[in-house]
């Protein structure tokens, strides 16, 4: 961070539930005011645990969490002033939507008139003006989701936590809500810590993403960096689609790594996460960065590949090739007239640039 | 279409309805057949007996069945002074005839018992006169009867007979409400000695309320614990809760006797540890305390189970959400958790209260005199005193009270919100 006090700081956080295994191992993260940080990872990777520690529902086994520079390990959840949206919304079923929204204000002893005013504003903000008198059960999933978001924002918290808030929605609604939350974040200047296992969601919404695996943050970076420059094979694999070729490093010159694939093909790749000649490596490259029938001079790697399968996707054709000893090499071939001649069983040249293929850990 | 013809609409709508009815007819018939055994069982074992009981509480033919001709005659009497010589004659002849009857329920003794309900001590008057009345061969019947027993000169006897001669009468409800007819035939409060039923109703309601409250207090935390504990522990706890269900009611109740009696386990321990002296043993059974303790124990699972089933569905995120919004734990509990347990609480309370108000066996075993409930009095009248009509009247009043409470409950909480599990 750039000198400014981070709103949230996790410092060497460890968490164990059973006293034997660590669910979170040495977690460090700073969240700047106004930032949208997503904790992304497969289930059981420790991301939700970190969120619960921040909210105050789970104590950290070791380390300290700071909110606005103050340690909060001993502050109970109701004194932290953190808004939270839960996975199943946790809207109180026995209260109306308006009562649900008024709850945080009621707790803060906001006068009745002001309370009503703010509830109405919040309802308008999430376009549910006419639904104040309904019970949560009478709303659709998307509407419940909006109420949950509005409820977490109504007391103007410094920080809003969201625990897989869109998990229960269908795909279209999920995408729509992603934009709505993103817009709220921008309009209101919120600081959001968001947990999800959906990488598309993380990429769409976040300023920064912390990728969790096995209790450790594998990489914490902006979405583009995460996608373009994954630090290791796990991140490359977890974020977006990814072709992997395994082999051995034969030479390193500056940023350039020469790799001998297991079936004897020679590749050149960018150096990211390999140390020395002789290391095992996974070379990672995105399906959309591979060209079919490229001009030999425009690519650094050029192989002949056999077309195994063509799957029509409208704007592109997903094509599965066998190349360098791997039969699961996916290429997104644009649906253009030039490419329409591809047939299963064809042998065609494919190639890619050195910058697009990264030599990562094995 | 501007020229919509309703008859055409009807013509097309009707066959559709008919078609639907025809296709669902088989299903409906099958459903009815499936429930038929239960319907029949309920009719025979529940609806009919209850109807019979309701009828019994206002119907008693122990006078009209024994002295039928006298019954018609006395009902025409104006109630002034003594009945006429003519009525006396009919009575004597009817009584003499009745003496020879051996049919159960039509003996003189049955009538004597019936009159004795309203005129305590009058039984022997009838039985004695019944034996001697055969000797009266000719008039004046009035004097002859009074000669057998001078009580026949008392107009009260004849007034009571007149009242009892009607098959349908509110007499048993009047008795059940601790009232009686005075000499002028007005309904007044019974003598203090005979005022037992209303007091007992009051006591029964009070004890049932107390037992329900104790059950709520004891069951709520246990049900909560059950709903939040990990499966293994909660299973064990659930077995402990259900264990009483698997033990005979009689065994459980007698176990309480062994524990609570003055020479029982608790008193022995207290004496052993010197908390109380040998002569200071505490009376914990054969009184209200015993009834309360044993009944709370027996009814507790009925409170725990509905509460548990409701609490199980309340996700912990509700409380977390409330806390995250700045609510202190107790406030969150009161505003968020407690209201969501109301359906279970309502179900448990209703169940325990209604069971408690009609409970019979436990108070009979451990209640002593003090801890007897209204159901014990009903049982007494059905089994011992054989005053079925009074028992039925008391039973009906109990039924009305329960239904009244049910109605109030429905108004307050809504019966559709109940959750039994």
pLDDT band for A240, please (50, 70, 90 cuts). Answer: confident
Identify whether B297 is part of a domain. yes
Q: For residue B134, give every residue at least 6 positions away whose Cβ sits within 8 Å of its Cβ, in sequence order, or none.
A: B96, B99
Does residue B337 belong to the interface with chain A, where contact is any CB pair within 8 Å?
A: no
Task: Test B329 with A78 for CB contact under 8 angstroms.
Answer: yes
Query: In this complex, do B323 and A56 lie within 8 Å of one another by their Cβ atoms?
Result: yes
pLDDT(A38) > 90: yes
Give B332's contacts in chain A (Cβ within 8 Å). Answer: 78
Backbone dihedral region of B317: left (phi > 0), alpha (psi from -120 to 50 degrees) or beta?
alpha
- As a whole number of angstroms, the distance between CA A147 and CA B59 comes to 64
Q: Tell me how far apart the alpha carbons of residues A185 and B108 are, in angstroms, rounded to a whole number.
A: 95
Q: Mind giving me the DSSP string for B242-306?
A: HHHHHS-HHHHHHHHHHHHSTTSHHHHHHHHTTSS-GGG----SSSHHHHHHHHHHHHHHHHHHH
Q: How far apart are CA B371 and CA B362, in angstroms?
A: 10
Both B92 and B131 in one domain: the answer is yes
Whether residue B62 lies inside any domain: the answer is no
Nearest CB partner across the interface for A104, out of B326, B339, B340: B326
**Out of A77, A108, A161, whose CB is closest to B323?**
A77
Residue reference for tokens 């002859």: B144
User: Which residues of chain B neighbour A81 with C-beta distances below 8 Å?
Assistant: 326
Strand spans (E) along B44-149: none
Q: Are B262 and B253 in contact (CB under 8 A)?
A: no
Residues B92, B206, single domain; the answer is: no
Mean of pLDDT over chain A: 89
B38 shares a domain with B72: no
Give the pLDDT score at A1: 43
How many residues are given for chain A?
362
Query: Would you state the pLDDT for residue B306?
Result: 92
The answer to whether residues B161 and B201 belong to one domain is: no
Residues 6 or more apart whose CB falls under 8 angstroms from that of B246 comprise: none
pLDDT in tens, A272-327: 888 888 888 989 889 988 888 888 888 888 888 999 998 888 888 889 999 888 88
- Residue from A225, A223, A231 nearest A205 by CA: A223
Looking at residue A95, the DSSP 8-state letter turns out to be S
Contacts of B403 (CB under 8 A, 6+ apart): none
pLDDT value at position B2? 46
Residue A73 and residue A67: Cα distance in Å, rounded? 10
Chain B residues closer than 8 Å to A92 by CB: 318, 321-322, 336, 340
Window 190-229 of B, Cβ < 8 Å to A: none
Whether B211 and B134 map to the same domain: the answer is: no
Is residue B305 included in any domain, yes or no? yes
Alpha-carbon torsion, ordered A184, A188, A191, A193, to 10 deg: -20
Torsion angle of alpha carbons A71, A77, A79, A82, nearest 10°?
90
Describe the strand order of the beta sheet including A70-71 as a list of residue ranges. Answer: A24-31, A8-15, A62-67, A70-71
Model-level ipTM above the cut of 0.90: no
Could you tell me which residues of chain A have a Cβ less than 8 Å from any Cβ in chain B? 55-57, 76-84, 86-88, 90, 92-94, 103-104, 107-108, 151-152, 155, 161
Token duo for residue A264: 């004897």
Answer yes or no: do B325 and A103 touch at CB < 8 A. yes
CB–CB of B331 and A107 under 8 A? yes
Contacts of A260 (CB under 8 A, 6+ apart): A247, A248, A250, A266, A267
Q: Report pLDDT for B16.
A: 83
Quote the minimal CA–CA distance from B395 to chain A in Å: 39
- List residues bridging with A8 in a β-sheet: A31, A67
The residue of chain A nearest to residue B318, with distances taken between CA atoms, is: A90
Are B368 and B231 contained in the same domain? yes
Whether B219 and B368 map to the same domain: the answer is yes
Read off the pLDDT band of B9 (50, 70, 90): low
Tell me, yes or no, whether B26 and B83 share the same domain: no
**Which residues lie closer than 8 Å to B231 by C-beta, 6 or more apart?**
none
Q: Is the pLDDT of residue B3 over 60?
A: no
Q: Does residue B156 sit in the same domain as residue B9?
A: no
Based on the domain organization, do B1 and B130 belong to the same domain? Answer: no
**How confident is the model at residue B12, as a pLDDT?**
58
Taking the Cβ of residue B329 and every Cβ of chain A, the question of whether any pair is shorter than 8 Å is answered with: yes
3-state secondary structure of B364: helix
**Chain A to chain B Cβ contacts (< 8 Å):** 67
> Which of B313, B321, B331, B344 to mutate to probe the A interface, most A CBs <10 Å?
B321
pLDDT higher than 80, residue B105 = no
Within a domain: residue B263? Answer: yes
Extract the tokens encoding A223: 């979405």
Contact A83 B324 (CB under 8 A): yes
Task: Give B352-407 pLDDT, tens digit per residue.
Answer: 999 999 888 888 888 888 888 899 999 999 898 888 899 999 999 999 988 988 88
Cβ neighbours of B336 in A, within 8 Å:
92
CATH number, domain A8-233: 3.40.50.300
Count of structural domains, chain B? 3
Nearest to A238 by CA among A196, A187, A190: A196
Strand partners of residue A71: A66
Convert the pLDDT of each residue in A195-216 to its tens digit: 998 888 999 899 999 998 888 8
- Give A143 to chain B, closest Cα distance, Å: 18
Model confidence at B262: pLDDT above 60: yes
- Cβ contact, residue pair A78, B323, below 8 Å: yes
In the three-class reduction of DSSP (H, G, I as helix; E, B as strand; rest coil), residue B148 is classed as: helix
Q: Which ranges in chain A belong to alpha helices (H)? A: 47-55, 97-107, 112-125, 141-153, 171-188, 199-205, 223-228, 233-238
Asked if B318 has any chain A CB less than 8 Å from its own CB, the reply is yes
Query: Residue B326: which of A55, A86, A107 has the nearest Cβ?
Result: A107
- How crowded is the C-beta side of A66, counted as CA atoms within 13 Å? 14
CB contact, 8 Å: B320 with chain A? yes
Verify that B40 and B112 share a domain, yes or no: no
Which of A56, A88, A161 lies at the smallest CB-CB distance from B315? Answer: A88
Containing structural domain, residue B269: 197-417
| Under 8 Å between Cβ of B322 and B328 | no
What kind of fold does domain A241-361 have according to CATH?
Answer: OB fold (Dihydrolipoamide Acetyltransferase, E2P) (2.40.50)
Tens digit of each residue's pLDDT (9 = 90 or more) over B160-187: 888 888 888 888 898 888 888 887 778 8
Domain with CATH 2.40.50.100 in chain A: 241-361
Q: How confident is the model at residue B10 (pLDDT cuts 50, 70, 90)?
A: low
Contact A164, A106 (CB under 8 A): no
B323 has a chain A CB within 8 A of its CB: yes
Q: Shortest Cα distance from B217 to chain A (angstroms)?
A: 23
Do residues A251 and A262 make contact, with C-beta atoms less than 8 angstroms apart? no
Give percent of chain A with pLDDT exceeding 90. 40
Q: Looking at chain A, which residue has its C-alpha nearest residue B339? A: A94
In chain B, what residues touch A84 (CB-CB under 8 Å)?
Answer: 320-321, 324-325
Instruction: Tell me which of B5 and B309 has the higher pLDDT.
Output: B309
Give the per-residue pLDDT at B190.
Answer: 82
């Amino acid at each position: 961070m750039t000198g400014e006090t981070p709103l949230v700081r996790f410092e060497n956080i460890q968490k164990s539930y059973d006293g034997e295994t660590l669910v979170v191992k040495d977690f460090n993260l700073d969240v700047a005011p106004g930032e949208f940080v997503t904790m992304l990872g497969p289930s059981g990777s420790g991301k939700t645990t970190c969120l619960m520690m921040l909210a105050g529902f789970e104590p950290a086994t070791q380390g300290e969490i700071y909110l606005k520079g103050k340690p909060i390990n001993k502050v109970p959840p109701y004194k932290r002033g953190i808004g939270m949206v839960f996975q199943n919304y946790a809207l109180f079923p026995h209260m109306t939507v308006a009562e649900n929204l008024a709850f945080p204000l009621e707790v803060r002893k906001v006068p009745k008139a002001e309370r009503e005013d703010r509830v109405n504003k919040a309802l308008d903000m999430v376009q549910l003006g006419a639904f104040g008198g309904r019970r949560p059960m009478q709303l659709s999933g998307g509407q419940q989701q909006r109420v949950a978001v509005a409820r977490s924002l109504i007391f103007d918290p410094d920080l809003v936590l969201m625990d897989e808030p869109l998990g229960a929605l269908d795909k279209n609604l999920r995408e729509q809500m992603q934009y709505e939350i993103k817009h709220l974040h921008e309009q209101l200047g919120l600081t959001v810590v968001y947990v999800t296992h959906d990488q598309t969601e993380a990429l769409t919404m976040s300023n920064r993403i912390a990728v969790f695996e096995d209790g450790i943050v594998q990489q914490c970076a902006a979405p583009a960096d995460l996608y373009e420059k994954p630090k290791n094979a796990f991140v490359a694999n977890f974020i977006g689609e990814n072709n992997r070729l395994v082999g051995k490093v034969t030479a390193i010159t500056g940023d350039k790594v020469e790799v001998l694939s297991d079936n004897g093909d020679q590749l050149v790749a960018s150096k990211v996460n390999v140390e020395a000649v002789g290391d095992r490596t996974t070379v990672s490259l995105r399906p959309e960065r591979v060209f079919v029938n490229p001009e030999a001079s425009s690519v650094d790697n050029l192989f002949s590949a056999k077309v195994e399968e063509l799957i029509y996707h409208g704007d592109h054709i997903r094509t599965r090739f066998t190349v360098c000893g791997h039969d699961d090499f996916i290429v997104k071939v644009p649906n253009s007239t030039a490419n329409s001649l591809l047939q299963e069983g064809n042998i065609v040249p494919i190639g890619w640039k050195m910058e697009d293929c990264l030599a990562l850990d094995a | 279409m501007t020229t919509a013809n309703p008859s055409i609409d009807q013509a097309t709508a009707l066959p559709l309805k008919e078609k639907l009815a025809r296709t669902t007819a088989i299903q409906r018939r099958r459903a009815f057949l499936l429930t038929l055994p239960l319907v029949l069982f309920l009719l025979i074992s529940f609806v009919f007996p209850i109807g019979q009981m309701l009828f019994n509480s206002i119907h008693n033919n122990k006078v009209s069945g024994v002295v039928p001709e006298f019954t018609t005659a006395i009902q025409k009497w104006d109630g002034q002074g003594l009945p006429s010589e003519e009525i006396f004659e009919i009575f004597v002849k009817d009584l003499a005839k009745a003496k020879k009857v051996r049919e159960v329920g039509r003996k003189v003794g049955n009538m004597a018992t019936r009159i004795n309900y309203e005129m305590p001590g009058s039984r022997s008057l009838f039985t004695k006169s019944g034996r001697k009345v055969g000797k009266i061969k000719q008039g004046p019947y009035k004097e002859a009867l009074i000669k057998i027993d001078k009580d026949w000169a008392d107009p009260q006897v004849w007034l009571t007979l007149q009242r009892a001669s009607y098959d349908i009468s509110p007499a048993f409800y009047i008795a059940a409400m601790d009232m009686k007819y005075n000499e002028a035939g007005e309904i007044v409060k019974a003598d203090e000695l005979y005022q037992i039923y209303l007091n007992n109703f009051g006591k029964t309601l009070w004890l049932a309320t107390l037992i329900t409250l104790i059950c709520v207090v004891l069951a709520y935390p246990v049900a909560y614990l059950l709903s939040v504990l990990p499966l293994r522990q909660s299973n064990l706890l659930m077995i402990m809760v259900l264990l009483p269900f698997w033990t005979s009611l009689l065994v459980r109740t007698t176990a309480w006797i062994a524990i609570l009696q003055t020479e029982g386990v608790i008193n022995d321990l207290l004496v052993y540890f010197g908390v109380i002296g040998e002569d200071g043993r505490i009376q914990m059974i054969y009184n209200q305390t015993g009834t309360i303790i044993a009944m709370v124990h027996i009814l507790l699972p009925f409170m725990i189970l509905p509460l548990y089933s409701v609490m199980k569905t309340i996700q912990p995120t509700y409380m977390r959400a409330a806390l995250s919004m700045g609510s202190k734990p107790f406030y969150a509990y009161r505003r968020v958790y407690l209201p969501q347990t109301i359906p279970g609480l309502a179900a448990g309370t209703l169940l325990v209260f209604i069971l408690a108000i009609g409970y019979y066996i436990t108070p009979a075993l451990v209640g002593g005199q003090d801890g007897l409930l209204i159901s014990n009095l009903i049982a007494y009248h059905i089994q011992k005193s054989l005053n079925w009509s009074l028992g039925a009247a008391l039973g009906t009043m109990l039924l009305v009270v329960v239904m009244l409470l049910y109605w109030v409950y429905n108004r307050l909480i809504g019966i559709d919100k109940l959750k039994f599990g």
